[in-house]
Structure 1
């Protein structure tokens, strides 16, 4: 398989934040950055092997004030706290922090940033510094697999290499090559000195008697620190000074030391924007004291439409020879553990261990002696070994549950175990090198596999039959300190390679061959690790994480969970990130060694602590001066608007006495019943709510589900009704859209909007700062003159009407064609139609001119596309399995009562509007059958796929339109919908209009409603 990459708006924003910090920096010419490389003392015969000329990064031309002003503009654009100063240190003059939640693609972002900094400013020498081998290999892999993707965008490739003191010829190329050059280095390669001195600081005979660090630093590289919180030791920081960096960019989800923070995408942002997986937990609660009662572990309550609920329980059983073993069996109401042949008469189950009740709603099992267990509870003799076995088993079961649901979608499921000792998995004293955990894993895997193989012979079952227990698990660990085993024992002496796994095949598979590990052809599905994969490493298809150790500190808990947050990919390399299904498919299960309640409380505290930089108080001072980004430009919140927002929150009890956002606000927002905004704020409704949401409230913390609570919700008899079959046959149509319009129409619209006096092209002139001062009197101490200084008297900001870029040659037509995906001829026609005064702004600020022109032209392009959109039916139709895909792990704890007319027994609604809509649909005498359309039912549009809400069949003759597709929205009066929603709805109307023309006379009506009453108005 081959991983695919696409441009994502949130990643582009992170890149732009860095690039915009250097506005006004003139692009470097090759002549300005050429220097003579130190040739060293070349050995005879090697003089021609090395180039004389090198290409270093051009110096920063911006003043500190200009840099700080740029940083402030970036921070204002994101409503981040403004930095008081430009944070300098001995490592670099510029230090920028980029906060990105684990799993959101920070490696991709800083690689793209490298290309953008090169394109905008000509910088070409970059060093990525990482704290571990696992991260180093992951970064190198990312550079490799994104090369083709970035080549398409930037028409160039980055030359990259991993620093190795035995392969220093790479440094010569790094210095002498004029293109983008990237070196990846781990801290162990440069942060030891004295008796542990590393070769990077040595004068080396095989490097023409030069020090590698001198050749590196001559390039004035830009340092990118990945996980900088792991590189803040005094020795590491001292060593980083040796690189003489032009600047330092720091990327992490958990910055410990802050510098100039210019971007934030924290845990809340990532979850709310559906950029990471949801989290569910399987907790294990130990009840009572060990040895005081018979051992029991309640694994699950299983329900079926054909028989009463059953409890899957582990208990002890006496064997024929007198030995005792633990077995897992299903119990029904009335079963007696002592006398019904379950325990074979073990005395510990003599008193009252008769099943009195199995409650599928509360997930509880009760016995006649009063003992009650909730799913996940263990009681009796629960030793450490027993707890670990339970965890291993639960992770295997969670894996199979997910795999069975995702196999048909081509998504491979991986499970990651963190263990407390390497020897418990890989024991070198054993002939087969299997440790305790490896043996238990294979036992439990085979037991569960045998149950799966009893199912019908499906493609998934065939897949399972082709994989043995021995081949489906592997491990990666840092070097074993006791045995000193390694790929190459000599490399332990060199810091740049210390810590490699002793298993070459596992090392390559887990750290290097990401595509192979993601392939269904690769049998490894379960990975064991000690600490080497705790941070930095991740894989998009880790769906289960099990810590066979105590997470006794908050950082490790978040880090371990973070290994599975990245959104998954299928066998085609496509990310499973469609908004309609993203959190149906992408759910990470954590198998914890503590109760669900305890684990969730601790993890949410970890997340809450990580959000400490977020504002906590929503008062007038907070809102004043903030920026609201609208389609027509940025709007600053005036004191008057700030007061309106504050009064709105206060009036509706959305803030408490301490001006903190309350749960009432978030509950109302989720249910779509927020109080109406005052008239002054309505034009900025979306932006105002985003600003309010940026204030931290505990109610915002991501919901962490109980992985055992979900139940199956099979299709019922309504699905087989003729009325539903007739409805489905009419809407089960796939179509391809086409757009046909005259080029002149787009040119005319684009020219009109660019020349518009009010909403047209406006470019902000560049500003520069002038400081005036005078020489101060020299100061002396004990008769010694300390030096002369200048005292600042005044600072003025001036507007530069002629850009510093005006001397740079721009391919204006090419840039606009690239940004709008139009031909150069069309762009030329648009530019010809522009007013002279409007076009003259290009010289004032070319970059701003290009960006604004692209935005305005693209808006008109979208308008023309919708106006000329047409759908043509194709032969392909939706498979019926879209009604069953992803249903095995739905949470019905808030699903309400069992329904009469829906095609499932229960329906999951997204808001109060939908819940009321369902109640009236299900009780209406006019409705025969209805369905919440599955997430896989998609209509293609130019702005992304669209998933309508409801399909309804009415009684014959009761209403004019028998078949109806409805979209429910809670804001019909003001139609406060996002532009993308409006566009999709317009496209859906066109889709059904075109389909109806092809398949008359029994037509399907489509419309948007806010209630059942509105629906009946439209159809009667």
Structure 2
């Protein structure tokens, strides 16, 4: 198959942006020569003054709505930003021929940071040669890769009279001891033969070549000027064209993305330990491990720091699964291992989650099913469908590894055909054996060569190969327009960046004639990741922000610019109105509760009987379309989901002991509750979820009975130390204020004739979180009976059996007499009559309000009310 190429409008703009920089430069038809071993050196030259180039630069930047820069800032270094998959290599190769046609320049050096990118450039030149010769009247050009074994090629580069393109890996010439930089017998370094030509230097993926050594190496080529092409510029030197990923996506210049994550739900059983990484401290080495953490309410996965001697039982919040044998005996950062006291060795990146294999098998099934569905639809259109699997261990595929076994099993079940020949792996070799590599070793070179040479072959129906397995090190430098599924199969969560992951399949598809297919129904890339679509979208957005400098709209996130200092009215702590109400509120309280044990058992049993069935851990498959917007960011819109149960036999912990720890009831009471509940048979479905849910229902019953029988008491007033201490906190706020984030509900204190009323303790703003609170503050300001009001600070708390409670407002009202109120503002919507419908509040809110009513009964002359509006007081 021969790929067909066309120049699109946006590619023409990118090429033209460079050509216009040198408007006014005469065409250098005549060569100029320098003597070098009696052979003339044919090079580029420029006569256009720097200030004229600067004017051209600003005109180009203005036309493309880019920030203007002064030519002296970065010299003759220019940046073109193009998203992966939009034809960046095509654009800079075409730019070479346009520069030659317009200005006669002939010598070009393409600098690349790695083997795969170099191989990608070579493959592109091979594929595009016929296209460029047709577009540029049969132009003759030469191209080659620099090699220290073929230094004589530099001579022909320096003396040739046609377009010559030299491709160089930065590592081949950035050090003094590189062959090209060493003086030869004539006393000259070979690099001089390049630098004498004043080549136009094109830097591919320049963000990987920003070290001082790399910059010096590029300067040593003595470039006429430098063009930098990337989707992720670290330093945008004179940006002259920009097509960022969001623009490319929304203009449908790349495939649209849908995400089909496969996730586990309720998988919190057992002693799960994953080593995430090491942290080297000044005194000792620590490691970050993910474990099952025993939270107050339920067991969750949590990453904690550990050092030698730490006990994971303690780090897990007392999770019984780690009771014996989980002391960290040693950490070894070099080998990437930690050793536990039970003899278990945990290796970096390995995941002992019992459900992990089930998830990866389901991911593979989803990828194969999606592939086969697309084949039915696209094969008749002459489009071959490819799928790419990223794996992190070659051994899991080669030599009948589990991935190869699973693939054969699923493929043959879905198609009724043999899987032989339809899948293969591209892995680096070491002494004839496949090996895991990081993508930058010498061993990767053969792998990339093989992939690049097979690019057109893979697109043809003549090849049976449709499913490609690659080590996760495969990143820039290889992609294929007909990759429609990308599946990440990792023992642990994928370390691959989202942009790197999707970049292998973003290009628009081609048919058997090698023609690009521009059909929205065709160009959909399905990613099957090991994370939720919400997480996928959030990570992709963060990468766009960090790597591309894209600034999305606020989208509800707090911004540093919204951070504001709230100031307090000077002298408010001496205001008689404030002192009067604060002297009433500053008293400390305690509570006591009474309830009957039999009533607790009965109530708890009723709640446990009403629980939904305890589900086994499930594998959930979702499907979501990814949307991208510069105003709203990146998000997923779920289209469908399905779930299936797993069949894993879990070890059963001491259920009574675990529930007893969470509820603080006696073992006998817990036993009686479980015995009478009739739900013991569900323990085996999901032991940890059973413990968490039953404990929650018992605590709900317990809290309800405690609150029914709660009684508050004022603490004895030994002296006025407590009052002085609380007043001191107010005085600190009066002096220093407090920082907060402004939002749409923040209330700004009213002013009359430029003078602020002194009805509150605040000087400027009151931080609020709802429209109801904002209206309440407005009404306090305008209501003639409200003499004084303020929002109670977060540290003013009422103790309750279900946690501390912070009421909203303190008010002093006066009509014929003064009344002191504590008000809780709630809005339960329009009802039959005005006011708050308590039954519409969450049970925990109702319970805290019930406690507050009892508590404020022991305060002298203070009324507690739950209201929506000031007029209800």
User: Are the counterparts in 2 of residues 477 and 532 from structure 1 also a CA contact under 8 Å?
Assistant: no
Indicate yes or no: 2:378 matched with 1:406.
yes
Query: Unaligned 5+ residue runs, structure 2?
Result: 271-351, 563-627, 643-873
Q: Cα distance, 1:614 vs. partner? A: 5.6
Q: Cα distance, 1:219 vs. partner? A: 1.5
User: Are the counterparts in 2 of residues 225 and 249 from structure 1 also a CA contact under 8 Å?
Assistant: yes
TM-score, normalised relative to structure 1: 0.45
**Equivalent residue number for residue 132 of structure 2:** 150
User: Are the counterparts in 2 of residues 185 and 496 from structure 1 also a CA contact under 8 Å?
Assistant: no
Relative to structure 1, the CA distance from residue 557 to residue 34 in structure 2 (aligned partners, 3 Å threshold; closer, same or farther) is same
Q: Cα distance, 1:246 vs. partner? A: 1.5
**Equivalent residue number for residue 823 of structure 1:** none
**Equivalent residue number for residue 594 of structure 1:** 531
User: Are the counterparts in 1 of residues 267 and 355 from structure 2 also a CA contact under 8 Å?
Assistant: no
Distance in 2 between the 1:78 and 1:178 partners? 35
Indicate yes or no: 2:237 matched with 1:247.
no
Task: Classify the secondary structure of the residue corresponding to 1:212.
Answer: coil
**Equivalent residue number for residue 35 of structure 2:** 36
**Equivalent residue number for residue 387 of structure 2:** 415
The counterpart of 2:479, out of the listed 496, 516, 538, is: 538
Distance in 2 between the 1:381 and 1:555 partners? 20
User: Are the counterparts in 2 of residues 133 and 497 from structure 1 also a CA contact under 8 Å?
Assistant: no
User: Are the counterparts in 2 of residues 509 and 516 from structure 1 also a CA contact under 8 Å?
Assistant: no
Counterpart mapping for 1:666-681 below 5 A: none
**Equivalent residue number for residue 57 of structure 1:** 44
Task: Classify the secondary structure of the residue corresponding to 2:72.
Answer: coil
Relative to structure 1, the CA distance from residue 285 to residue 123 in structure 2 (aligned partners, 3 Å threshold; closer, same or farther) is same
Counterpart mapping for 1:333-482 below 5 A: 382-426=354-398, 433-450=399-416, 468-480=418-430
Distance in 2 between the 1:397 and 1:227 partners? 35
Relative to structure 1, the CA distance from residue 183 to residue 82 in structure 2 (aligned partners, 3 Å threshold; closer, same or farther) is same
Task: Classify the secondary structure of the residue corresponding to 1:148.
Answer: helix
Relative to structure 1, the CA distance from residue 13 to residue 547 in structure 2 (aligned partners, 3 Å threshold; closer, same or farther) is same
Distance in 2 between the 1:282 and 1:411 partners? 22
Relative to structure 1, the CA distance from residue 120 to residue 508 in structure 2 (aligned partners, 3 Å threshold; closer, same or farther) is same
Task: Classify the secondary structure of the residue corresponding to 1:185.
Answer: strand
**Equivalent residue number for residue 167 of structure 2:** 184
Indicate yes or no: 2:180 matched with 1:173.
no
Distance in 1 between the 2:491 and 2:110 partners? 32
User: Are the counterparts in 2 of residues 534 and 556 from structure 1 also a CA contact under 8 Å?
Assistant: no
**Equivalent residue number for residue 79 of structure 1:** 65
Distance in 2 between the 1:289 and 1:422 partners? 27
Q: Cα distance, 1:182 vs. partner? A: 0.4
Distance in 1 between the 2:482 and 2:536 partners? 23
Task: Classify the secondary structure of the residue corresponding to 2:520.
Answer: helix
User: Are the counterparts in 1 of residues 232 and 548 from structure 2 also a CA contact under 8 Å?
Assistant: no
Relative to structure 1, the CA distance from residue 182 to residue 190 in structure 2 (aligned partners, 3 Å threshold; closer, same or farther) is same
1:162-192 deviations in whole A, cap 9, x for unaligned? 1122223322221111111101122232234
Q: Cα distance, 1:585 vs. partner? A: 0.4
The counterpart of 1:558, out of the listed 499, 505, 521, is: 499
**Equivalent residue number for residue 125 of structure 1:** 107
**Equivalent residue number for residue 25 of structure 2:** 25
Distance in 2 between the 1:219 and 1:184 partners? 15
**Equivalent residue number for residue 6 of structure 1:** 6
Distance in 1 between the 2:184 and 2:33 partners? 25
Counterpart mapping for 1:757-906 below 5 A: none
Q: Cα distance, 1:512 vs. partner? A: 2.0
1:742-763 deviations in whole A, cap 9, x for unaligned? xxxxxxxxxxxxxxxxxxxxxx
Distance in 2 between the 1:20 and 1:125 partners? 19
User: Are the counterparts in 1 of residues 79 and 237 from structure 2 also a CA contact under 8 Å?
Assistant: yes
User: Are the counterparts in 2 of residues 132 and 186 from structure 1 also a CA contact under 8 Å?
Assistant: yes
Relative to structure 1, the CA distance from residue 84 to residue 152 in structure 2 (aligned partners, 3 Å threshold; closer, same or farther) is same
Relative to structure 1, the CA distance from residue 218 to residue 103 in structure 2 (aligned partners, 3 Å threshold; closer, same or farther) is same
**Equivalent residue number for residue 514 of structure 2:** 573
The counterpart of 2:465, out of the listed 524, 540, 561, is: 524
Counterpart mapping for 1:687-726 below 5 A: 698-699=630-631, 701=633, 704=636, 706=638
Task: Classify the secondary structure of the residue corresponding to 1:34.
Answer: coil
What is the alpha-carbon root mean square deviation over aligned residues? Answer: 3.3
1:954-996 deviations in whole A, cap 9, x for unaligned? xxxxxxxxxxxxxxxxxxxxxxxxxxxxxxxxxxxxxxxxxxx
1:136-155 deviations in whole A, cap 9, x for unaligned? 11111111111111111212
**Equivalent residue number for residue 192 of structure 2:** 214
The counterpart of 1:235, out of the listed 195, 201, 213, is: 213
Q: Cα distance, 1:559 vs. partner? A: 1.4
Q: Cα distance, 1:420 vs. partner? A: 1.5
Distance in 2 between the 1:552 and 1:73 partners? 47
Compare CA radii of gyration and give the structure with the larger one: 2
Q: Cα distance, 1:248 vs. partner? A: 1.1
TM-score, normalised relative to structure 2: 0.52
Distance in 2 between the 1:523 and 1:705 partners? 35
**Equivalent residue number for residue 89 of structure 2:** 107
Task: Classify the secondary structure of the residue corresponding to 1:129.
Answer: strand
**Equivalent residue number for residue 161 of structure 1:** 144
Q: Cα distance, 1:283 vs. partner? A: 0.8
User: Are the counterparts in 1 of residues 553 and 632 from structure 2 also a CA contact under 8 Å?
Assistant: no
Name the one with the larger strand percent: 2
**Equivalent residue number for residue 442 of structure 2:** 498
**Equivalent residue number for residue 677 of structure 1:** none
Distance in 1 between the 2:548 and 2:33 partners? 45
Task: Classify the secondary structure of the residue corresponding to 1:588.
Answer: strand
Relative to structure 1, the CA distance from residue 396 to residue 231 in structure 2 (aligned partners, 3 Å threshold; closer, same or farther) is same
Q: Cα distance, 1:615 vs. partner? A: 8.8
Indicate yes or no: 2:550 matched with 1:584.
no
User: Are the counterparts in 2 of residues 56 and 124 from structure 1 also a CA contact under 8 Å?
Assistant: yes
1:55-113 deviations in whole A, cap 9, x for unaligned? 1111x32333222211110010011111144333xxxx411010001100000000000
Relative to structure 1, the CA distance from residue 707 to residue 281 in structure 2 (aligned partners, 3 Å threshold; closer, same or farther) is farther
User: Are the counterparts in 1 of residues 537 and 635 from structure 2 also a CA contact under 8 Å?
Assistant: no
**Equivalent residue number for residue 253 of structure 2:** 275
Distance in 2 between the 1:443 and 1:709 partners? 24
Distance in 1 between the 2:93 and 2:467 partners? 30
Q: Cα distance, 1:202 vs. partner? A: 3.0
Q: Cα distance, 1:224 vs. partner? A: 0.8
Relative to structure 1, the CA distance from residue 4 to residue 446 in structure 2 (aligned partners, 3 Å threshold; closer, same or farther) is same
Task: Classify the secondary structure of the residue corresponding to 1:572.
Answer: coil
Counterpart mapping for 1:295-334 below 5 A: none
Relative to structure 1, the CA distance from residue 706 to residue 131 in structure 2 (aligned partners, 3 Å threshold; closer, same or farther) is farther
Relative to structure 1, the CA distance from residue 698 to residue 148 in structure 2 (aligned partners, 3 Å threshold; closer, same or farther) is closer
Q: Cα distance, 1:12 vs. partner? A: 0.3
Query: Unaligned 5+ residue runs, structure 1?
Result: 40-51, 293-379, 427-432, 451-464, 618-655, 660-695, 711-1020
Distance in 2 between the 1:209 and 1:516 partners? 48
1:8-30 deviations in whole A, cap 9, x for unaligned? 11100000001111111221132
Question: After the TM superposition, which of the residue ranges 229-238 and 279-288 deviates more from structure 2?
Answer: 229-238
Distance in 2 between the 1:597 and 1:526 partners? 27
Distance in 2 between the 1:113 and 1:551 partners? 43
Question: After the TM superposition, which of the residue ranges 598-607 and 517-526 deviates more from structure 2?
Answer: 598-607
Aligned length: 489
Relative to structure 1, the CA distance from residue 597 to residue 550 in structure 2 (aligned partners, 3 Å threshold; closer, same or farther) is farther
Relative to structure 1, the CA distance from residue 2 to residue 19 in structure 2 (aligned partners, 3 Å threshold; closer, same or farther) is same
Indicate yes or no: 2:198 matched with 1:226.
no
Distance in 1 between the 2:67 and 2:641 partners? 41
Q: Cα distance, 1:238 vs. partner? A: 2.5
